[in-house]
Chains A and B, each alone.
Chain A
Amino acid sequence: MMTWLMHHRRAILTTLAQMALSPVASLFTLFAIGVALSLPAGMYVLLDNATQIAGTLPAQNEMTVFMRDDASPDDVTKLKQQIKAMPDLADSRFVPRQTALQQLSAQMGMSELAAELPKNPLPDAWIVTPAATDANTVARLIKQLEQLPAVALVQADHKWAQRLDALLALGRELINILAIILGIALIAITGNTIRLQIITRHAEIEVSRLIGATDRFIRRPFLYFGAIQGLVGGAIAWGIVTLGIVLLSPQIDTLNKLYATQIQLHALGLTDSLILFAFASLLGWLGAYISVGRTLSRIENTH
């Protein structure tokens, strides 16, 4: 156990010493890895922000049934019974016009505007959820609801909500593809630096073999090198993304003021950051593993 710990400690120290030996080259490699990782990480953060903003919007299969502006409380009661009687509706909820106005002014920051209005322009409304989400049912429901008395308009939010969802899904897929491509790039970058390392440390490897070093002993510092390089590259990517968010924030604030919105960009969360670091180290380790195996067996065959 002690021996094992010592070997690992030594391998880590050797790795750091190797990095310090050629600081400029190490920095270039680390930045290349950082930039490569920052692309998917940055896109992920943007998409995550977009998803969160989209999350404040109505759920996708709800429909809004607006009543006529002149509808009386009697009409409301009547309509309530009629809606309750419809078998295809899973849920319904009444939004009185006053509540709607309050929500609107709170949500969009338009309290000044609402206060200046001579009269509430919003009608009473019902938010209903269809039992089934397929296009045919929804279309039939819209027709049925529109034919009810005291109903002015039925608005199905589901279409554009579905479109937004599809767009977000497309974005997610793009990130996945980008992450895979750049992950492979990371493996390749690491593999190449490790290959050069092994070539420069050829003498040390040869001597170590002759005096009884196991393959593991020889491999270990290189694996650490790959993992540490990946980890630091991941940290640089994290820095780039966070810096990007910090730089964008003033612009978002300006937009918030202009549009009276409350959008705020957030950086990578703790879990996401840890996942980024873990993946970066893992890919670095993998690149090193592949490269060490190939390069060492080639060295052995030539000498």
Chain B
Amino acid sequence: MIRFDRVTKRYPGGHEALKEVSLEIAAGEMVFLTGHSGAGKSTLLKLIAAIERPTSGSVLVNQQNVGRMRRAAVPYLRRNIGLIFQDHKLLFDRNVMQNVLLPLQIAGFSRHDAAARARAALDKVGLLDREKTNPIALSGGEQQRVCIARAVVSRPALLLADEPTGNLDSEYASDIMIMFQAFNQAGTTVVISTHDHAAVLSGNCRIIRLDHGSIQS
């Protein structure tokens, strides 16, 4: 599903976030990206979602070269990727429900279908009773769950989570990791970056360790 071929990303100013990284992630896999902060985890995820473009090398997602993708095609790529951010990026000018509805409105779902799907997504993260609340009134863990509901509401084939548990207590964090595992078991490919080794699920998940922009094996 995802294939990096000797990808280098150099930011303006000369900092090299990724150096000749090659990797492959199959559909249906659940992968942890670990490494110290600044190791290039965020950059790797951003390259998959075409938020950043590689300086050299190629990034393929579903056989599409997203590094060379036309600007106009990028939105359609992103509709098939659920993005989860450490800072949640929720909108505080609307309630939880409206935040979760946003991807569906963008994709052009009818109001009826959209409402049903959004409720289902909120139910999955256990926040159905908070749909009318403004996200600013929620705890950090709850905000992260709203962010997850928004990411999965359009049932993407791929979930990318950048430090999803970075600001959370270990108890909340493990709840969220279990949630990701459930999505993975339903067939979604999941890539999670974390600097917290304790958060990595025990089990047979693959771990990709980044160090100063290179993969450690």
Residues of A participating in the B interface, judged by any CB pair closer than 8 Å: 2-3, 6-7, 10, 203-204, 206-215, 217
Residue of A nearest to B73 (CB): A214
Instruction: List 8 A-B pairs, minimum CB-CB distance, nearest first.
Output: A3-B108, A212-B79, A212-B78, A214-B75, A212-B75, A213-B106, A211-B103, A207-B89
Q: Is B72 within 8 A of A211, CB to CB?
A: no
A261 smallest CB distance to B (angstroms): 60
Which B66-112 residues have a C-beta within 8 angstroms of A?
71-72, 75-79, 83, 89, 91, 93, 102-103, 105-108, 110-111
Q: Which residues of A contact B150 (CB under 8 A)?
A: 211
Q: How many residues of B contact A (CB 8 A)?
A: 22
Residue of B nearest to A9 (CB): B111
Q: Is A212 within 8 A of B91, CB to CB?
A: no
Known interface pairs A10-B105, A204-B91, A204-B93. Does A210 touch B110 (Cβ–Cβ under 8 Å)?
Answer: no
Interface of B is mostly: helix
Q: Which residues of A contact B71 (CB under 8 A)?
A: 215
Q: Is B75 within 8 A of A213, CB to CB?
A: yes
Given contacts A6-B111, A212-B78, 14 further A-B contacts (CB under 8 A): A6-B108, A6-B110, A203-B89, A203-B91, A207-B91, A207-B102, A210-B49, A210-B78, A210-B89, A211-B79, A211-B106, A212-B79, A212-B106, A214-B72
Residues of B participating in the A interface, judged by any CB pair closer than 8 Å: 49, 51, 71-72, 75-79, 83, 89, 91, 93, 102-103, 105-108, 110-111, 150
Q: Is A217 within 8 A of B91, CB to CB?
A: no
Known interface pairs A214-B72, A214-B75, A215-B72. Does A208 touch B89 (Cβ–Cβ under 8 Å)?
Answer: no
Q: Which residues of A contact B106 (CB under 8 A)?
A: 208, 211-213, 217
Residue of A nearest to B111 (CB): A6
Q: Which residues of A contact B76 (CB under 8 A)?
A: 212
Q: Which residues of A contact B93 (CB under 8 A)?
A: 204
Residue of B nearest to A7 (CB): B108
Could you list some 20 contacts between A and B, CB below 8 A?
Answer: A6-B108, A6-B110, A10-B105, A204-B91, A207-B102, A210-B49, A210-B51, A210-B78, A210-B89, A211-B78, A211-B83, A211-B102, A211-B150, A212-B78, A212-B79, A212-B103, A212-B107, A213-B106, A215-B72, A217-B75
Residue of A nearest to B71 (CB): A215
Residue of A nearest to B153 (CB): A211
B33 smallest CB distance to A (angstroms): 19
Q: Which residues of A contact B78 (CB under 8 A)?
A: 210-212
The complex places the Cα of A10 from the Cα of B150 at a distance, in Å, of 19
Residue of B nearest to A200 (CB): B93
Q: CB within 8 A of A208: which of B51, B77, B102, B108?
A: B102
Q: Which residues of B contact A210 (CB under 8 A)?
A: 49, 51, 78, 83, 89
Q: CB within 8 A of B110: which of A2, A206, A208, A215?
A: A2
The complex places the Cα of A213 from the Cα of B75 at a distance, in Å, of 6
